[in-house]
Amino acid sequence: MEWEIGAECLACVLIVLVLCFSREKFYTQMPQTRLYYACLGFALFSTLLNIATVVLMGVPGLLPRWLCYTLNMLYFTFFPLLEAALTYYMAYLIHGRGPCFTRVAICLGVMLAAALAVVFTNPFTGWLFYLDAAGTYVRGPYNRLLYALLVACCLLLVICYIKQFRMASRAIHRMMATLPLLAMVLGTVQYLFPPVMMTGFIPACILLVLFFNFQSQRINTDFLTGLSSRSALWYAAGTCLRSGQSFYCVAVCLRHFGDVNKQFGHTGGDAVLRQVSAYLEALGRRAVACRFSGVEFVLLFPGMDAAGYAVLEKELSERFAAPWQAGSVCCRLDAGVAGIACPRFGDTAERLTAHLEYAIQQLKLPGAPEALSFDTEMEQRFSRRVALRDVVVRTLSGQAAGVAYQPIYALDADTPCMAEALLRLCGADGTPVPTADVVSVAEEMDLIVALDWMMLEQVCAFFGAHRELDGCAVSVNFSARQFLAPDAERRVLDTLERHGLAPTRLKLELTERVLAGDIRRVRAVMEALAARGVEFYLDDFGTGYSNLSSVVSLPLQYVKVDRSLLEAATNGGGGALLLRAVVETFRAMGRGILLEGVETPEQYALACTLRADRLQGYYLARPMPGEELCALMRSGARRTRRT
């Protein structure tokens, strides 16, 4: 019989091409990648054996009989191993490691053992093949048993797929819609046309499909830089942690890289990124270089200690101090470097990820150093930040927030005319947490707007529910982000209506920072709400953001002069003249004056001398819970001045 081996030769070419285009450092290979390489190896070796045996069968007597028989036996040994390896790999993709995968492995082991038993007994039974007296290859009566193994493996995969159907990814669905059918079709062609050798071509086609779906470099490496993906980084870290090996994770953050893109365009910026990536990848033979995100990179150095990191930090500092040349692009880069010793500060993937993200965030802060090392103090700051994040989450769920109200008095009145709502927060252990710290973290988490609206809702609900507060207005901070909300006016008015609170009783405080933003949008919102009776106060005047033209152009009823000006006015020097000038200027503009931070008899006397319209401070009343404010308003008690 004449054998056609063209398909087998093509199979070898395909397998070699896949091997060339799927190279990875062995240290970064994940389990599925190593399984895939094992399948490639089995496929290439069994296909080469098949080609060799077919060529030898065409020239009887070229090699000794025993050598021809041994080559055929090797082929029949490796082919079931290839089938089992491919099935094992695809079952791993479908199930991952787990009880179901273990059962699949047991079934495969049983089927493979049976197939190999047939192979190893062939010298005595001749079931698969034998060589006649002339040394010619003759098929045995059960030569097709290996195809039965292929069918059994396909059925096993189909069963696995059906059990995991709902949890399978799109890539798994594509694989199962293609591979079993492809294997069956090619197997049928081989069965119907025995002279056409396709036993290597079938697995080669399967491996090619798997490569495009699961092993492509676009999945395991970054497309732009060619560096490893995050998954490869975490696998390398997990390998070190499981083996007990110490290592360093080094984050490299390119700061102000947007300036490079602006100057040279994104094409030039990409060229610079590739240069940086090539440099970072060449730093260590066993190092894993990963593009963590955007212009942030992470290097993992197995076995590195603090001394090694110090040397590396110096090398990185010297290199980034020099210019980078990428074609016609020449620029300098501002890079920050952070080192994390593991497993001390990264004994799990989750903890290491959190610490890396925090370290990169610190490198981006204004005035951040060129290099830092994650130490115990930094870990404590990180833990503090995590606790603050928990406070934010608990606050938004209604578990950690409270509101205190500080009475505000008209100059000649003895009962409050209004109160400022102040957010009071507590940690999980009940200890008070500085509101400014929580607000900072809420801004990082992009939850500050939700926190602001929650505050407005809670305050309006309280004042709307207590009739004894009908003669008292309330002021609430209104942030720049709230002004930018497209439905800001409607949300404020809906909140007032929902709780039965008249718009004239709500005073919204905006900081000078708001005036540094979209002033047109701010003015539009203010005018719409002012038309319904809501008043606006400019808070903390004197902290450096606003200008008088902005104040004049906006519908502001009151200006709250920052406590720092009142302190300076009572400490001698020219502070008193400055404060008097501010008060008289705003009064001439038709704005009311509210002096905050009145905490001493001297400050109170000065405020009376200046005839400020309203006063607020500890000298008059401290912030108090809402129930105490209600009691104060019910009793009509006169204000108490502290000495």
Query: Does position 643 have pLDDT exceeding 50, yes or no?
Result: no
Q: What is the pLDDT of residue 26?
A: 46
% of the chain beyond a pLDDT of 90: 38
Exposed/middle/buried for 352, CB within 10 Å: 0-12, 13-18, 19+?
buried
Query: Does position 642 have pLDDT exceeding 50, yes or no?
Result: no
Confidence of residue 324 (pLDDT cuts 50, 70, 90): very high
C-alpha pair distances (Å), 135 with each of 52, 107, 121, 140, 396: 15, 37, 20, 15, 83
Segment 589-614 shows an average pLDDT of: 91
Q: What is the pLDDT of residue 534?
A: 94
Q: Distance between CA atoms of 420 and 433, rounded to whole angstroms?
A: 19
Within the chain, which residue ranges are assigned CATH 3.30.70.270?
230-374
Q: What is the pLDDT of residue 493?
A: 95
Confidence of residue 547 (pLDDT cuts 50, 70, 90): low
Provide the token pair at 16: 């070699």
Q: Distance between CA atoms of 365 and 91, rounded to whole angstroms?
A: 47
Q: What is the pLDDT of residue 269?
A: 92
Q: pTM to 2 decimals?
A: 0.57
For strands 371-373 and 334-342, give the pairing. parallel
Query: Does position 149 have pLDDT exceeding 90, yes or no?
Result: no
- CA 467 to chain CA centroid, nearest Å: 48
289 contact partners, CB below 8 Å, separation of at least 6: 227, 228, 277, 280, 281, 283, 297, 298, 299
Confidence of residue 169 (pLDDT cuts 50, 70, 90): low
Beta strands in 303-374 (DSSP E): 324-326, 329-331, 334-342, 371-373
pLDDT in tens, 78-87: 989 998 999 9
400 contact partners, CB below 8 Å, separation of at least 6: 391, 394, 425, 426, 427, 428
Within the chain, which residue ranges are assigned CATH 3.20.20.450?
390-635
Query: Does position 340 have pLDDT exceeding 90, yes or no?
Result: yes
Confidence of residue 176 (pLDDT cuts 50, 70, 90): confident
Query: Does position 430 have pLDDT exceeding 60, yes or no?
Result: yes
Tell me which of 517 and 528 has the higher pLDDT.
528
Query: Does position 491 have pLDDT exceeding 90, yes or no?
Result: yes
pLDDT in tens, 349-397: 889 999 999 999 899 988 888 999 999 999 998 888 888 888 888 777 7
**Is the link from the previous residue into 302 a cis peptide, with omega within 30 of 0?**
no
- CA 416 to chain CA centroid, nearest Å: 48
Q: What is the pLDDT of residue 549?
A: 67
DSSP per-residue string spanning 115-161: HHHHHHTHHHH-SSEEE-TT--EEE-TTTTHHHHHHHHHHHHHHHHH
Within the chain, which residue ranges are assigned CATH 1.20.1070.10?
5-219
H or E element: which one contains 512?
Answer: none
Query: Does position 616 have pLDDT exceeding 90, yes or no?
Result: yes
DSSP per-residue string spanning 188-251: HHHHH-TTB--TTHHHHHHHHHHIIIII-HHHHB-TTT-PBPHHHHHHHHHHHHHHT--EEEEE
Q: Distance between CA atoms of 579 and 138, rounded to whole angstroms?
A: 110
pLDDT in tens, 89-138: 888 888 766 677 888 899 999 999 999 999 999 999 999 988 887 777 88
Q: What is the pLDDT of residue 182?
A: 81
Confidence of residue 173 (pLDDT cuts 50, 70, 90): confident
Which contacts (CB < 8 Å, 24+ apart) does range 600-607 have? Answer: 600/570, 601/641, 601/643, 602/570, 603/566, 603/567, 603/569, 603/570, 604/641, 606/566, 606/569, 606/570, 606/576, 606/579, 607/411, 607/566
Highest mean pLDDT among 249-253, 514-518, 582-586: 249-253
Query: Does position 611 have pLDDT exceeding 60, yes or no?
Result: yes
Q: What are phi and psi of 445, to 5 degrees?
A: -85, 0
Query: Does position 217 have pLDDT exceeding 50, yes or no?
Result: no
Which fold, 5-219? Rhopdopsin 7-helix transmembrane proteins (1.20.1070)
Exposed/middle/buried for 454, CB within 10 Å: 0-12, 13-18, 19+?
middle
Q: What is the pLDDT of residue 545?
A: 53
Average model confidence (pLDDT) across the chain: 85
Query: Does position 335 have pLDDT exceeding 90, yes or no?
Result: yes
Q: What is the pLDDT of residue 23?
A: 60
Q: What is the pLDDT of residue 544?
A: 58
Q: What is the pLDDT of residue 518?
A: 79
Query: Does position 638 have pLDDT exceeding 60, yes or no?
Result: no
Confidence of residue 27 (pLDDT cuts 50, 70, 90): very low
Q: What is the pLDDT of residue 625?
A: 92
Q: What is the pLDDT of residue 641?
A: 52
What is the CATH architecture assignment of 390-635? Alpha-Beta Barrel (3.20)
Q: What is the pLDDT of residue 314?
A: 93
CATH class for the domain made up of 230-374: alpha beta
Q: What is the pLDDT of residue 96?
A: 67
% of the chain beyond a pLDDT of 70: 92
pLDDT in tens, 436-490: 777 777 777 777 888 889 889 999 999 999 988 988 999 999 888 888 888 999 9
pLDDT in tens, 62-79: 778 888 899 889 989 998
Which of 56, 196, 57 lies closest to 137 in space, CA to CA?
A: 57
Q: Distance between CA atoms of 399 and 340, rounded to whole angstroms?
A: 35
Contact between 395 and 450 under an 8 Å Cβ cutoff? The reply is no
Query: Does position 202 have pLDDT exceeding 70, yes or no?
Result: yes
Contact between 160 and 96 under an 8 Å Cβ cutoff? The reply is no
Tell me which of 547 and 527 has the higher pLDDT.
527
Q: What is the pLDDT of residue 400?
A: 53
Q: What are phi and psi of 347, to 5 degrees?
A: -90, -5
